[in-house]
Structures are given as structure tokens and as C-alpha cells.
Homo-oligomer: A and B are copies of this chain.
Amino acid sequence: MKAHTATLSIATRGQGTREITGEVARVVHDSGVETGTVTVFVQHTSASLVIYENADPSARTDLHAFFARLCPEDEDYFTHTTEGPDDMPSHLRMVLTRTSEVVPITRGRMQLGTWQGIFLFEHRRAPHRRTVVVTVLGA
């Protein structure tokens, strides 16, 4: 049994999803684990993770539009406003998606489905550098 960890630093270009499947797959490969799990964890409260369809970009366009409507800026009831109008919606969009995702590993590879990719979901308007911790456990 092995426990292997690596930290990724991912640059975002402001609001939207950025695929990080390749970066995570590299850590899985480096770990030498054949059977186990990889945990992907984002160390932020205004960015999150989703495993989402990675074939047709229109699915991501609509995802972004959905969250812009579900968690809009400038709600009358917001009290947490000192960090800008995009801050509180960022926390809400993060809560509705994931801080961690866990993907099984078999025969040394992540068992993602055909259309699944791992995406870092940036919720702030400005570009950020985000830290993602990847931990591989298994044999």
C-alpha cells in the first residue's frame, strides 16, 4: 500500500471551468498505484471542482450560465459584501459543487467515464492561481 501526494498550482482566467484531468493523471501515474483512489482537493472557498462532460464546450457554456442565474450578484439580502459583488456568489457556487472529488484507480489509471473530465471551477471574476492537492492511496 502506498500514499502519494502532490500539489498543483493552476492558473485560472477568471470565471469558468478549466480542465485539469491531465495534471491529475500525471500524479496518478507518478504514484505507481495500480488499484486505489485519487482524491483531488481545492484549497479555496471561491473555487471548486466538478466532474463534467468534456467533449462539447456548449455544455460548459450552459453550466456557467446556470450558476450565474442560480447565484446572482447583488442580492438584497447579502451582508458579506466587502470583497466585491462576485465574492458571495463565489462561496455559494462553491458550496453547490465540490471541494473534493474522489476517483477510483484500476490498472494504474483513473476510471473516468468516456465523457468525464475533472474541472477546476473558478468563481471569481479575476484570474487567480489556485492550489489543488492530489492524494493517491492504494496498492
Contact = CB atoms under 8 A, between A and B. Distances in A.
B1 A104 contact: no
A45 interface: yes
Nearest to A118: B99
Given A59-B80, A80-B61, A106-B5, A52 B41 contact: no
A138 B139 CA distance: 11
How many copies altogether?
Answer: 3
Helix, strand, loop or mixed for chain A's interface? mixed
14 contacts: A5-B104, A37-B135, A41-B102, A45-B115, A45-B116, A52-B91, A52-B95, A62-B79, A62-B91, A66-B71, A104-B133, A104-B134, A105-B135, A113-B131
Interface of A: 1-5, 35-37, 39, 41-45, 50-53, 56, 58-59, 61-63, 65-66, 69-71, 75, 77-80, 82, 88, 91-92, 95-106, 111-116, 131, 133-135, 137-139
